[in-house]
């Protein structure tokens, strides 16, 4: 399995992370996201490095979330440079954690589980 998100998986994630009007929303800050190079990224919640690329679910919808910017800019850059805050909200998880069962706290305070089929379930 590849660790990169395929175009199909990327569009599943963008659709899941869009609001009821179809506007893609950054899951970190809630702002609208323009789907254009440099403006957004699909962040790997469990990083690809340190063995993550060998895990079959690394490139699946449950391991991705839509955020502003790149690994060094915007909300994605903020997440990468604030690992404690990112871990508290579930935007960064350890290699031993399962992205399909680890809750994430979204920008509006909802705590959700990201399912492999591209849906969200409220976390218990
Ligand atoms: Zn944002």
pLDDT tens digits, residue range 54-112? Answer: 788 999 999 999 999 999 999 999 999 999 999 999 999 999 999 999 999 999 999 99
CA of 26 to the centre of ligand 1 (A): 5
pLDDT band at residue 20 using 50, 70 and 90 as cut-offs: very high
- For residue 51, give the H/E element and its range: none
CA 40 – CA 24 distance, rounded (Å): 10
Q: 77 pairs with which residues across the strands?
A: none
pLDDT band at residue 4 using 50, 70 and 90 as cut-offs: confident
pTM of the model: 0.93
Neighbours of ion ligand 1 (CB under 5 A): 26, 28-29, 31, 68, 75
The β-bridge relationship of strands 104-105 and 111-114 is antiparallel
Q: Which residues contact 73 (CB under 8 A, 6 or more apart)?
A: 38
CA of 76 to the centre of ligand 1 (A): 8
Q: 28 pairs with which residues across the strands?
A: none
CA distances to 6, 86, 104, 106, 111 from 124, rounded to whole Å, are 30, 20, 11, 14, 8
CA of 120 to the centre of ligand 1 (A): 19
For the chain, give the percent of residues with pLDDT over 90.
Answer: 86
Long-range contacts of 32-38 (CB under 8 A, 24+ apart): 33/66, 33/67, 33/68, 38/69, 38/70, 38/73
């Amino acid at each position: 399995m590849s660790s990169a998100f395929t175009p199909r998986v990327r569009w599943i994630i963008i659709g899941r992370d869009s609001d009821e009007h179809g506007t893609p929303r950054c899951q970190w800050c809630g702002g609208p996201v323009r789907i254009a190079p440099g403006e957004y990224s699909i962040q790997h919640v469990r990083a690809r490095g340190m063995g993550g690329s060998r895990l079959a679910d690394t490139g699946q919808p449950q391991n991705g979330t839509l955020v502003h910017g790149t690994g060094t800019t915007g909300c994605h850059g903020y997440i990468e440079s604030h690992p404690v805050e990112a871990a508290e909200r579930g935007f960064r998880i350890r290699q031993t954690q399962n992205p399909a069962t680890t809750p994430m706290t979204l920008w509006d305070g909802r705590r959700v589980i990201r399912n492999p089929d591209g849906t969200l379930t409220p976390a218990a």
